[in-house]
């Protein structure tokens, strides 16, 4: 295994990421920036076990920079007694990583030269042990929000302070040092039950964030300034737990998205071209998100009753986990026939006001289109950044992981989103509430403040990423200069 084209005059950096498009996309875009904007040679270490169709297509495309090399790790089989289809998503992910990183030392040693640094995401912390042996500094790329980073850094302390109950049963919100309190109903899925393996895995990995030489945060200075300032300045993070330096380098999102004429994505853009400015609600719930059959019915009726234009990226219903396609992103399109699970006659009745697209749409291209007026999003961090970077306010519809936390921050702290209300005793958001929220986002007075705030943030993104001088560009430049000094 050889790093092709390596030179000794520029730093060689390796990047390691856990499965799931929500992690792979930002880490891959990060490596592109290292290669193209900062003159690094980069080895992208790819865990191939159970790789989704979308992951395979993305990492083995022909559009990668010549100094970026994807290296497939030999797959280790973790199905034999370790995981099943019923294994919760985070436990399954962590076991896949654990078993597939047993080859990491030999892979790093097989490269032409040892990397000057290894960048990992938060679920690959076994790499700290390997890299300590090889004297390779490790940096953590935190793929989620500043709010989740502050909470995660505080979690090991919270775990020792709260002894006799679950966090969700606390009588008051969790007081994260220097930050907005986290309501118990907004706690991330992995920490809602401290007795299960998902909690133990999450606690294990976030406890090891302090071993990093630095933390790359996928945000910029203006997005959650109070939270970023707290992580950098609050005594808890530096006198109590000794947090590594935090570098805001975001938003790290897709720069471009190729849409071929043969894809359904081109249909979306042609349809948008015919719609008025800021008139369309774009409904897309991420690469892993699914809805129940009952909720899909309510969404359909809500959209129809609103009489607003929409694009709905839809998947077959799943009455099990809302993260039902996490490990199968890009592989479900052939079995996805919307007419078979939408209300009878819906497609015919809404054909002049909406477009239903099975499984996938070119999200960045849709968000950039002037006809898009609102993004109905699951509040995954990648989708959140893409929406804000394009000045599009959101309907916040969290499904799993830390998305409830993101939704609250977007609505209450950042001011670019609205959360539909679930009526007491109801298991779904009703069609009447969906109609209300959709109308509000396109026609209501309330949308004006959200759109104004989203436009402000769009401008601040451009400034943060500008070269030279932008805060995010310069933040990453400082670290790369340290690596280059070691060559």
Report the alpha-carbon distance of residue 52 to residue 50 in Å, rounded: 6
Cα angle for residues 456, 440, 379 (degrees, 5° grid): 60
Place of tokens 């004297």: 135
251/248 Cα distance (integer angstroms): 9
Quote the CA–CA distance of 94 and 467 in Å, as a whole number. 37
Closest listed residue to residue 213, CA positions, set 118, 107, 105: 118
Quote the CA–CA distance of 439 and 379 in Å, as a whole number.
20
Token pair, residue 109, equals: 């040693």
47 phi, psi to nearest 5 deg: -75, 115
Give the N- to C-terminal CA distance of the chain in Å, as an integer. Answer: 22
Do the Cβ atoms of 210 and 244 come closer than 8 Å?
yes
Give the residues across from 44 on adjacent strands.
15, 70
Return the biggest CA–CA distance within the chain.
65
Which pairing describes strands 246-248 and 214-217: parallel, antiparallel, or unpaired?
Answer: parallel
Active-site entry in 41, 69, 121, 205 = 121
Cβ-contact 285, 357 below 8 angstroms: no
* Beta strands 372-377 and 280-284, pairing class: parallel
For residue 402, the 8-state DSSP code is T
How big is the chain by its Cα radius of gyration, in Å? 22
- Contacts with 95 (C-beta within 8 Å, 6 or more apart), sequence order: 78, 82, 83, 87
Q: Is 23 noted as a catalytic residue in this protein?
A: yes
**Residue 118: strand pairing partners:** 14, 138
121 given a catalytic annotation: yes
CB–CB of 395/285 below 8 Å? no
Active-site position among 23, 38, 69, 205: 23
DSSP conformation class of 174: B
- Residue showing tokens 């490596």: 31
Alpha helices in 218-362 (DSSP H): 225-233, 235, 264-273, 293-306, 346-349
Peptide bond into 251 cis (omega under 30): yes
Catalytic residues: 23, 121
């Amino acid at each position: 295994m050889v790093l092709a084209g390596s030179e000794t005059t520029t730093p060689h950096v390796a990047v390691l990421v856990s499965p799931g498009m929500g992690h792979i996309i930002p880490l891959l875009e990060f490596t592109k920036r290292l290669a193209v904007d900062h003159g690094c040679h980069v080895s992208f270490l790819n865990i191939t076990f159970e790789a989704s169709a979308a992951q395979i297509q993305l990492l083995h495309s022909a559009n990668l920079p010549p100094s970026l090399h994807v290296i497939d790790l030999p797959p280790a089989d973790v199905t034999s007694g370790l995981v099943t289809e019923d294994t919760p998503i985070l436990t399954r992910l962590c076991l896949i990583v654990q078993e597939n990183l047993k080859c990491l030392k030999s892979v790093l040693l097989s490269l032409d030269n040892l990397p000057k640094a290894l960048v990992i995401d938060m679920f690959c912390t076994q790499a700290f042990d390997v890299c300590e042996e090889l004297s390779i500094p490790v940096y953590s790329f935190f793929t989620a929000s500043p709010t989740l980073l502050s909470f995660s850094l505080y979690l090991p302390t919270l775990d020792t302070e709260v002894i006799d109950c679950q966090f969700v049963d606390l009588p008051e919100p969790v007081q994260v040092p220097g930050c907005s309190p986290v309501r118990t109903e907004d706690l991330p899925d992995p920490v809602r039950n401290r007795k299960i393996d998902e909690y133990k895995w999450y606690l294990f990995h976030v406890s090891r964030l302090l071993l990093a030489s630095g933390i790359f945060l996928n945000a910029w200075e203006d997005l959650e300034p109070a939270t970023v300032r707290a992580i950098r300045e609050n005594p808890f993070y530096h006198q109590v737990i000794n947090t590594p330096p935090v570098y805001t380098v975001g938003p790290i999102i897709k720069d471009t998205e190729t849409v071929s004429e043969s894809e359904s994505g081109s249909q979306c853009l042609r349809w948008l071209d015919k719609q008025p400015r800021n008139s369309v609600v774009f409904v897309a719930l991420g690469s892993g998100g699914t809805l129940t059959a009952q909720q899909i019915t309510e969404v359909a009726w809500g959209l129809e009753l609103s009489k607003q234009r929409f694009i709905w990226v839809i998947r077959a219903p799943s009455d099990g986990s809302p993260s039902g396609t996490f490990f199968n992103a890009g592989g479900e399109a052939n079995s996805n026939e919307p007419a078979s699970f939408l209300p009878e006659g819906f497609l015919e009745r809404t054909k002049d006001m909406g477009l239903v697209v099975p499984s996938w749409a070119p999200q960045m291209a849709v968000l950039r289109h002037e006809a898009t007026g609102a993004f109905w999003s699951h509040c995954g961090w990648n989708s959140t950044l893409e929406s804000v970077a394009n000045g599009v306010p959101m309907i916040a519809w969290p499904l799993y992981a830390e998305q409830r936390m993101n939704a609250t921050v977007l609505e209450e702290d950042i001011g670019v989103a609205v959360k539909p209300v679930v009526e007491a005793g109801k298991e779904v958001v009703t069609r009447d509430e969906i109609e209300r929220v959709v109308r509000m986002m396109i026609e209501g007075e309330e949308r004006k403040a959200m759109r104004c705030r989203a436009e402000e943030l769009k401008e601040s993104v451009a400034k943060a990423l500008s070269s030279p001088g932008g805060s995010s560009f310069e933040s990453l430049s400082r670290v790369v200069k340290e690596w280059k000094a070691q060559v």
